[in-house]
Structure 1
């Protein structure tokens, strides 16, 4: 199917070093899928294999149903947006956008028309005569996106495209990239180490660790149903608290800091596990209760849109986020820490 990307047991080795363990992916046409993970996890290697910039040691890669495993990058219908923009400083913006079309031998008038259309698509109409040095970082990145999409690729590949921008500009440009991808119906594979960025732009996220897939799913799936402690901690902030599962079934019985609790969760295994408690699900009070635990506030900060606390407890340090309000708890206060049973998850220890 046009625009689909499929890898079948693809591996990549550099000598004795395994950069990518057997990887099988199935990316549907018109979707934006993000490869997310820490440095060295294999995400950029995967992108370069799809692009044809690296050759697979084993396995097959199919784009639009066509086996492209042994095709060079030149013959794959993909375009890549690089982290560094890779614009030619001596060329105008329009010449940069049309460069790939010129290399293919397209008539000059058509190159100009398509370059202008590409610039209009990314919101830079009228910028064609400028040099890259006359643009902001966000505008330069949009030029790089325009240069990629005028080639009419089946698949758009983006390698850490926002890492050179400041935080506020990153939010703005990622929204623009997502809107362009959806408007044009492009299949896109996006690489980043920033979990917030991944959650903001993706239909699906593939989290990688140690050269293989740790978990994949929608942003909501990964945040709300992490498969393990690594995913819980990597996708958003999480407090991971040691406990013991003593009974499983439709409900799960746990022992947490010496107290026996029942949770409306299914747990597959009896024994040690971890409780995943998101910071905004931590409930603080001055009043003791059977399902609350003693803690001490070691840090409190009012940040305008939220109040953040670090707490010391028998289960270890706890990070909590509360709605904006005058600080009800201050450093040194003894408090009671609780949570709603439906707000927590269990993962293997």
Structure 2
């Protein structure tokens, strides 16, 4: 791999505007040199606005650009396997958005190509590198709440505006043919990936997934129980059709001496409750939330470090969600 990592990006959607795209050129020894979008005008506009030298409307043209060392796939999950396979067979390292693919079988196919080609594969589970979540990991490892017994996860959201009303036009995230599931697959993938990073492998998971409100094809409510190899147990509930007043994003790590209350998505406070009292930590996300993880990828590609989120770790979240939502 060249000393400077030059990136090509497939997809110019919302996630790339701030969360990821600008970070590629802010990380040391890294530069975003080309973008690709199926809509030429959108690709050209993105390149112009973000100062990217080249744009394409053909995926193979970007993948085969000799100046591009590594590929970031920022598309819906239905094409992750195809695009990642093409890129790895072209010898280009791949960084793919989450969830890694639509199901565990597609993830395993991607990992098989990575093993066969020897080309590295990374997944955008960027919580593994964010200060907020690293603080959670530190608190658990320091046993500030004792031995961990139980984890609870709750995501209770209202339906999105485009999902309700006479002219409802739900987006691709609730089309299982494109996304692999619904909002559960989109958000719980982050949660299960981080919980495994925090507490080790989940050895079994069971659940019930249903569509209650009939707003779209995908499930809109999921409940689950899961067990870690360590013996820690977990429960979760995800509902996406409540009213705004009930909106909740909360995780609890319950130990023998107290509990840690935190948020996966919306809040930047961590609250620690023990017999000694209450402690609170405030760790806002960086401007570009994927930047710390991207930096770890660049360091690994340069032989200077290791990225904590690989194809092998990323596939596990899909496997857990498959177990929970299987018919």
TM over 0.5: no
Superposition TM-score, scaled by structure 2 size: 0.30
In proportion to residue count, which structure has more strand?
1
Superposition TM-score, scaled by structure 1 size: 0.28
Q: Tell me which structure has the larger Cα radius of gyration.
A: 1
In proportion to residue count, which structure has more helix?
2
Larger relative contact order (CA 8 Å, sep ≥ 6): 2
